[in-house]
Amino acid sequence: MSLAVQNLAKDYPTRTGPLSILRGVSLSLERGDALAVMGPSGSGKSTLLHILGTLDRPTSGSVRLDGTDPFTLSDAELASFRNQRIGFVFQDHHLLPQCSVLENVLVPTLVSRDTKPADTEAYARQLLERVGLGERLDHRPAELSGGERQRVAVARALVLKPILLLADEPTGNLDRKSAQAVGELLLELHRQERTMLVVVTHSADLARAFPRRMEMNDGTLEPTP
């Protein structure tokens, strides 16, 4: 299980010529690795994460996840690959307000053909116990705090046991105490599940908790000293 990125570039066309967002980005991860990516706003961090998560396509370069180049797949194959192999946690939790905590965690399983409903529900309940929400299964998002909603989002990202977990500013909307709790939870579950974890963050406190740190500057990615 590995992630290999080579010479990734992303350009957007403009009236005055292409706008370069990523330039020559390379990185590699093995199972159990955790990487924090820092950098100023507009440096390309979220663009990189979206390409790693197959939500956007690179202009050039290659991405291989567990030996597969996802950008050679058909749209249907790519959607299935993303659903099964990649978990996402965003700054805004994106929970469905009309659904319960348990139903929100189960959303990714609704389009999966490779899971049994009874098994996935049992695992969802287990995850919610592990994130401290075992007594809140029937609550709606509006009845939860910001930190609790983000914990639901973490459980949802893990429910199909992805090999790659991506988090884009997962603590950005939280107070300091909740941010610390969510950061610790992400790392704890990552270690238990032995995923590959990539977190984009402005938080120096969160980044310091990671064994690997890199910095994005003007579209290039370099190790943090």
Please tell me the pTM assigned to this model. 0.93
The answer to whether 136 and 101 are in contact (CB under 8 A) is: yes
Which pLDDT score is estimated for 115? 64
Q: Is the pLDDT of residue 60 over 70?
A: yes
DSSP string, 43-61: SSHHHHHHHHTTSS--SEE
The answer to whether 2 and 27 are in contact (CB under 8 A) is: no
The answer to whether 43 and 22 are in contact (CB under 8 A) is: no
Residues 6+ apart with CB under 8 A from 163: 1, 31, 65, 66, 85, 86, 195, 196
Average pLDDT of the chain is: 93
Instruction: For residue 117, name the pLDDT band (cuts at 50, 70, 90).
Output: low
Distance CA 175, CA 37 (A): 21
The answer to whether 164 and 87 are in contact (CB under 8 A) is: yes
